[in-house]
Chains A and B, each alone.
Chain A
Amino acid sequence: MTTLSTAANAQPDTGAPTPGEAAEAPLRGMWRQGLIVFCENRLALVGLGLFVLLAGFCFLGPLFYHTDQVHTDLTQVHLAPGEQGHPLGTDGVGYDQLGRMMLGGQTSIVVGLAAGLLATALGTIWGAVAGFVGGWVDAAMMRVVDAMMSIPSLFLFMLLAAIVTPSVPMLILIIGAFAWLGPARLVRGEALTLRSREYVQAMRAMGGTGARAVRRHIVPNAIGTVIVNATFQVADAILYVAYLSFLGLGVPPPAANWGGMLSDGLADAYSGHWWLLYPPGIAIILIVLACNFIGDGLRDAFEVRLRRR
């Protein structure tokens, strides 16, 4: 609730300076034009503001709001919001819920970003190689993707969790190892179509080489799709962290993350401890929404045809 209202307040702050800046700057350059289009998308600005706000809350919040998130305090369990100086109450082992939201958010955002980027990088390379080289290499590489996709992820997560001890780097690796399949297919398709585009053929008819095709034509045209997809991957990875924690495969206490907190809160759902359930749930929804809005805005920003002069 708090985050939502602050986000609404913050929106004019992030929105206002950018159009002003755009108006005085000369309308040149690929990036600046893209920025203008991005700023025209209101939802994208809301998303960006929301993301900045949530990240600020998680990473800067603890500097101003000090809590002990290491030692349990069984004298102060299940305090309602506002009681004994805990604005959001405490959980079942006496941790301050507001401080725990900050700590949990750090894990969620770090793992989400890192795993999302890892998956995008892995998938892009795999898909690009398959798409460019084509032929049997493509067929073989894509069958690997198909095979991996056919394994239920839940089963593999549980298997992996039984083998390795969950930690933040481990979570990133595990999620990254699953999430790259989507981008791989996407980028392969993109590479296949871009390779046969007429402007690539036109360049070849001028005597250009494959390296130039990749550098000047294929990468600039594929990068938009890849970046847009990366934002969705980040959102997905944050959800994956939540799933994993929900299944009890998250980071072990005293570390926390929003998914794990949600899972714990659900156990108390019938005890009336709503402050353990709603804040992590809403935070997950907001950050995923923010990532998706940013992705939409980036898609517009990379679309040259939407640019005006």
Chain B
Amino acid sequence: MTASNELTRLGPAPDQSGTQPLLELRDLDTDIALRRGTVHALDGVDLQVMPGETLGVVGESGSGKTMTALSIMGLLPPGGRVTGGEIRFEGRDLRSLPADEVRRIRGVRMGMVFQDPLTSLNPTMRIGFQVAEPLRVHQGVGKAEARERAIEILRRVGMPRPERIVDNYPHELSGGMRQRVAIAMALVCSPRLLIADEPTTALDVTTQRQILELIDDLKDEFGMAVILVTHDLGVIAGRADRVAVMYAGRVVETAATGELFRSPRHRYTEALMEALPESAIRDDGAHARLYSIPGLPPDLSQPLTGCRFAPRCRYVTAECRTTEVTLSTGPHQHACLHPVPATAPAPLARTAPAAPSADAGGTPPAADDRTAPASAAEPVAASAAKAVAAEPTAAEPAVAPAAGSAVAEPAAAPILSVRGLVKNYPAGGGLWRRSAGQVSAVAGVSFEVRPGETFGLVGESGCGKSTIGRLVVGLETPTAGQIVLDGTDIATLRGRERRRMHRQVQLMFQDSYAAMNPRMRVDAILAEPLEIQQVGNAAARRARIATLLDQVGLSRRALERYPHEFSGGQLQRIGLARSLALQPRLIVGDEPVSALDVSIQAQVLNLMRDLQQELGLAYVFISHDLSVVDYMADRIGVMYLGKLVEVGPAREVVRAARHPYTQALIDAVPTVTPNAEAARSGIAIRGELPSALNPPTGCRFRTRCPFAQEICETEPPLTGGVHQVACHFPLRPESTASTAGSADGVPAVNAVPSAEAAR
């Protein structure tokens, strides 16, 4: 474990070389008995957590990462049971201790934070009571003292006005605040080990950043160890000292974070990193094709032999399928017969040059590690960047021909043109209740989408991006403004015309399972759009459905099955096939890959790009995930509280953001570059999203903006040429000849002081 200490980057490095591990899992097996068969969720898991260390446990869904956490805490679901191995905590095996003792250890010496802060808090109990409950149970603390201690711990987790919050109920707090309460609850007994199971997955990126920083700070303050369980490699990269990668109920690789991300050894880890959208975006902004891991994880209720990743591995040999592989020894352990050579250049080897430039004399946040080494290459590509979406011309035309066609005829009439779109919802109200006002979901949004183009819409939850999607496909009627589809305002369409309008634009859902009638077989599901639009006869429809299945890469056998028989990625393919059935020209994807694992996400993103190229589709790609949008979109619009704050070519928006909110969003996204300094620098926005019921006047971001001035109380118009921004003090001027000029940070540095000088 000395190796891990050498590589520990955080300031107060735990100096425990030679001490015994705080927690050690030895050959842990966990089974879950289900109605049909037993799932061997964990199979021989070995893990060590040193005191004061952050261990990141990363894996896709079903890899056993959550089951590991639950096994340690003894919180397995019904039917779940630890069947073998040891859970040694502070040198004692929890499995052999008496139940009472174990309960006390788990209650006092360990704390757990769950994914969803809403369901992990009791809605009928006041915050203070819940936070202090462990104290009252385990330490017999009295009522008054419990309240004092609750206020104290809430203050330490950064809760504003803790003496008032203690008397509130969970529903009165936002998601981020609730997660702080959950953390306070876990910490109230000053545990030695904090287990955080996807603590930020349900939160927005800017909130996620706050919570991760909080856990980091508290770890040092309390001197505890942390197990950070997550599916997000970026979260791990920025925060963990050591990482354990899990696959199909086993640990396949563990190493110090820097080491693991610099040179992953196991082929699964390598593939996982190549499947990340950010790894496919080259420094010059061009897009490579994502590596997608074929197939699905194995069914853990069946007996498995050999390496469990073998069926999906590029480097598989006959030996892999038959030989049981155990973790190698040493600081960097892996269970792979044909590992990546140790000296191989990492797929994401941008760390070294990036770190100094990020630190260099107050370089503005935009100089994130991607732009810095890219600056040399960028001006070349940038000369052509005046035209919208020009950057793919530098890429292989085969990958992004759609954008290429947009360049070829820049005057092409937009397929979709949204003008001054407004949508208000009445808040509350009912038959005898007075309406509480109006929720301003979308407030004057205008943008255009050209044929064959991908327009990315980014923003945090509640910013109105999904509402725009629903308005565009005609599921909602706008309060004001126009949606012009192919030259026709859809509000003017009635009856038959309106029905035909739906052929032009289709919606793709986040959760395809929810978007399919569970009682309909796939053939009926795919036939439905054709039936509604009365396309062809039965035979023609069958032929069309067969073509669709081929296009999305599913076999014909899928036709006779019900939606519940498919995995998430397959369902998303079926969903895409259904959207394509009517041969639309525009598909609105509302978070189409957000529910998928990284490797499956790559499959779906590749498919969407391939089909775009093949069919000349235009996409409106709605997502909260900036890296996915960056990968998919030609142009990006950033939304905040119902308004579009910035629109421009994807590369410019992401690498040379002009609006402070965009920059904060970019800085908050955890990158797979294991650089703790970078993870903490940049614009961090504080506070909570204001209510859309009563949005701030003028610039809606001004209440959280670090550069806000008096003038921000007046509304800034969306101005600029290709790269527009709605800000009185844009971070940098719109780049003209040199798109990449901002990479060295000079314009931005000028922009910031000028904003301060105006004060």
Contact = CB atoms under 8 A, between A and B. Distances in A.
B507 interface: yes
A58 B597 CA distance: 60
B586 to A, nearest CB: 12
Interface string B508-531: 010100111111100000001100
| 8 smallest beta-carbon distances between A and B, as pairs | A207-B502, A139-B431, A207-B499, A198-B515, A206-B529, A198-B514, A205-B507, A208-B532
Interface stretch (A99-107, A110-118, A216-224): A216-224
B582 interface: yes
Contacts of A305: 518, 562, 564
Interface residues of B, number: 33
Contact of A207 (B503, B516, B565): B503
A139 B518 contact: no
A207 B495 CA distance: 10
Interface of A: 30, 135-136, 139-140, 197-199, 201-208, 212, 216-217, 220-221, 304-305, 307, 309
Nearest to B507: A205
B154 to A, nearest CB: 37
Given A139-B431, A207-B500, 15 more contacts: A140-B431, A198-B515, A199-B514, A199-B515, A199-B517, A201-B507, A202-B578, A203-B528, A205-B474, A206-B582, A207-B501, A207-B533, A304-B518, A304-B564, A305-B562
A121 B22 CA distance: 64
A302 to B, nearest CB: 9
B576 to A, nearest CB: 12
Contacts of A197: 514
Contacts of A217: 517
B500 A202 contact: no
Contacts of B498: 207
B518 A221 contact: yes
Contacts of B511: 198
A306 to B, nearest CB: 9
Nearest to A197: B514
A201 B507 CA distance: 10
A30 B473 CA distance: 33
B506 interface: yes
B517 A206 contact: no
Q: SS class of chain B's interface: helix, strand, loop or mixed? A: loop
B509 A202 contact: yes
A257 B473 CA distance: 60
Contacts of B578: 202
A203 B532 contact: yes
A190 to B, nearest CB: 14
B430 interface: yes
B507 A202 contact: yes
Contacts of A201: 475, 507, 515
Contact of A212 (B473, B507, B532): B532
10 contacts: A139-B430, A140-B431, A198-B515, A205-B502, A207-B500, A207-B503, A216-B520, A216-B528, A305-B564, A309-B561
A309 B500 CA distance: 38
Given A205-B502, A207-B498, A207-B503, A304 B519 contact: yes
Nearest to B582: A206
A202 B499 contact: no
Contacts of A198: 509, 511, 514-515
A140 B432 CA distance: 11
A205 B511 CA distance: 15
Contacts of A199: 514-517
B517 A221 contact: yes
Nearest to B500: A207
Contacts of B507: 201-202, 205
Contacts of B565: 309
A269 B431 CA distance: 55
Nearest to B35: A306
B308 to A, nearest CB: 26
A203 B520 CA distance: 13
A206 B562 contact: no
From B498, B500, B501, B565, name the one whose CB has the most chain A CB atoms within 10 angstroms. B565
A203 B564 CA distance: 19
Nearest to B581: A206
Interface in B552-575: 561-562, 564-565
Nearest to B590: A198
Contacts of B532: 203, 206-208, 212
Interface string B405-433: 00000000000000000000000001110
B565 to A, nearest CB: 8
A207 B485 CA distance: 15
Nearest to B561: A309
A40 to B, nearest CB: 11
Nearest to A220: B519
Contacts of B517: 199, 216-217, 220-221
B37 to A, nearest CB: 12
Contacts of A309: 561, 565
A221 B518 CA distance: 8
Contacts of B502: 205-207
A220 B431 CA distance: 30
Contacts of B519: 30, 220-221, 304
A137 B482 CA distance: 32
Nearest to B511: A198
A212 B518 CA distance: 16
Nearest to A302: B519
Nearest to B529: A206
A212 B520 CA distance: 14
Contacts of B518: 221, 304-305
B504 to A, nearest CB: 10
Contact of B475 (A205, A212, A304): A205
